[in-house]
Amino acid sequence: MDVDDEENMSSSSTDVKENRNVDNVPPKDGGGQGAGEGMQLSNGGGSSSRKRPLEEGNNGHSKFRPKKRKKTPGPVLPKNALMQLNEIKPGLQYKLLSQTGPVHAPMFVMAVEVNGQVFEGSGPTKKKAKLHAAEKALRSFVQFPNASEAHLAMGRTLSVNTDFTSDQADFPDTLFNGFETPVPSDASFYLGSNGDGSFSSSGDYSLPSSAVASSLSQSPLPAPSPYPSASGKNPVMILNELRPGLKYEFLSESGESHAKNFVMAVAVDGQTFEGSGRNKKLAKARAAQSALASLFNMQLDQTPSRQPIPSEGLQLHLPQVLADAVARLVVDKFSDLTENFTSPHARRKVLAGIVMTTGTDVKDALVISVSTGTKCINGEYMSDRGLALNDCHAEIISRRCLLKFLYTQLELYLSNKEDQQKSIFIKSERGGFKLKENVQFHLYISTSPCGDARIFSPHEAAQEDQGDRHPNRKARGQLRTKIESGEGTIPVRSTTTIQTWDGVLQGERLLTMSCSDKIARWNVLGIQGALLSLFVEPIYFSSIILGSLYHGDHLSRAVYQRIAEIEDLPPLYTLNRPLLSGISNAEARQPGKAPNFSVNWTVGDTGLEVINATTGKDEMGRASRLSFL
């Protein structure tokens, strides 16, 4: 090769990167000769080698270009399931059934129909989901030696470890009749009253659970997880396997921006099942779960710390239905009072309300009170004449509203005989008055009550939570007080200092019982208050329902378990153990500063009353309509 040829070759290699070292040897500093010079490159014969200068670099480094080597053919890669299935059954169409999970970790479900049978697969991407569906389809062509392997091949996993070598037939029937449709149970569950604030499955009032679920548009089971279960299948997938081709219908959208509620419906075997959730996908899952529970008697396991804690005798099929219905009634009433949350007084951190039921049909339930608020009065604004509200936390205000309703009902009974039937009170054989047997009150709070119930529940109970891991720690069950003119609670210190009126006015911190402690007190003394106790028998909440931060272990400890050893109570008084439950569509956390006002409404009022939580009075300095209760 002459000099002219080398110059032409050099000028035509414009796309060769500068300062490139072919053998990854770093260039030496100084000098105009590149590190590659002097290196031997094969000329293809293997017997001799020579330098092949290509061009001079910008910094004086020489460029070298190795000779191209022929690519040797590698081993043939095995075909994946998609390719193999396409060869056997060309032209198959894959359909996207659902997408669940958060944005950063989605879960796709793809389906393919082969020989009249639908196979589904799931995965973090559509490609992997299609691959899994194709694998299941391929397995359907294989003859398996036993039923267990066939079920695994079809994507059906067993919840127990089956021992086929056992002499006892202890393996599940589903192993062999898993393709059969189970016969729905004829047993109906009923929601009645024991007359002592608890529920019972046997009472004078009955309503089938299916009718309750239909009227409430809710699933009668604990809420399903928006993520696939351990077997990789959520309710939508399972229902689609049993009844392919179902179509879900969007019914409604409601709620505040941080607590949206969507309702979806699906028709299966001539019946319509509805479900609600914070998004449409979750609502579809709950509608599917409702259908699975009603038609196929399928129940998905839930974390114990997230399940409702029923009062004695209450069937586990009903608490979630009741909880979701009570929560929806309170939120809908608040929406009506704030013009669909457009009023400036719709801004809130905590919403509470009390619902009264007079039977088993929750459609006849009545919202007694609605309130908001998270703060207490400043010590300097306390009133010795009772003109100011000291505690403006939402659940405390709702209970005050309930007292107003109870006085109204007692007055209604005493006014004339014609109105006695309209009152919720009747004469007691012990003297005084008592509630009618079928009257029950349910407290809803949009988050866990401050104090012992909330301090250990900073987030929703996760799937891996199995209850309180440290129930015996000294911090559990402590009395706590609210922070004056602020939010949060601190433990009560055992000191000899006694809170006095003049001490608070001179600057001592005002001590106000936490809401958890007050609810625990209500579960012994009742919610009727000291004055009404002279006229009526103790009244207790039948259920306490939380819109978020529900943790069954912490809530039950805070409201009754820590005082379970109480003894020698006067007649008619008892330790009340209400139904405790979260809701299916938990509210999202609302970051930001809480408003300084509290609103309240009682049935019969024309509108909301707005109270300055710092002063305990309205903006005009007038006493609240609840201040004398």
C-alpha to C-alpha distance for 537 and 429, rounded to whole angstroms = 11
CA angle 414, 415, 421 (to 5 degrees): 75
Q: Minimal CA–CA distance to 517: which of 461, 600, 455? A: 455
Helical spans, DSSP H, in 375-467: 394-415, 452-455
Measured in whole angstroms, the distance separating CA 39 from the mean position of its chain's CA atoms is: 68
Would you say 577 and 198 are in contact if contact means Cβ atoms under 8 Å apart?
A: yes
Torsional sign, CA 197, 202, 207, 211: positive
C-alpha to C-alpha distance for 369 and 351, rounded to whole angstroms = 11
Q: 421 is written with which tokens?
A: 């039937």
Of 55, 256, 274, 395, which one is the catalytic site residue?
A: 395
C-alpha to C-alpha distance for 429 and 80, rounded to whole angstroms = 80
Q: 253 is written with which tokens?
A: 């959208």
C-alpha to C-alpha distance for 141 and 525, rounded to whole angstroms = 69
Backbone phi, then psi, for 145, in 5-degree steps? -75, -25
Q: Is 47 exposed, middle or buried (0-12, 13-18, 19+ CB in 10 A)?
A: exposed
Torsional sign, CA 190, 194, 199, 201: negative
* 395 given a catalytic annotation: yes
Q: Which residues of 19-28 are buried (b: 16+ CB within 10 A; e: fewer)?
A: eeeeeeeebe
Would you say 511 and 499 are in contact if contact means Cβ atoms under 8 Å apart?
A: yes
C-alpha to C-alpha distance for 293 and 213, rounded to whole angstroms = 11
List beta partners, residue 95: 111
C-alpha to C-alpha distance for 560 and 525, rounded to whole angstroms = 12
Would you say 189 and 532 are in contact if contact means Cβ atoms under 8 Å apart?
A: no
List beta partners, residue 579: 543
Torsional sign, CA 86, 90, 96, 97: negative
Would you say 425 and 536 are in contact if contact means Cβ atoms under 8 Å apart?
A: yes
List beta partners, residue 271: 268
Eight-class DSSP state of 511 = P
DSSP line for 335-357: HHHTTTTTSGGG--S-EEEEEEE
């008697």: which residue's tokens?
297
């035509």: which residue's tokens?
12
Eight-class DSSP state of 49 = B
Edge-to-edge strand list for the sheet holding 117-123: 94-100, 107-114, 117-123
C-alpha to C-alpha distance for 277 and 236, rounded to whole angstroms = 14
C-alpha distances out from residue 44 to 47, 69, 255, Å: 8, 9, 76
Q: Which sequence positions are flagged as catalytic?
A: 395
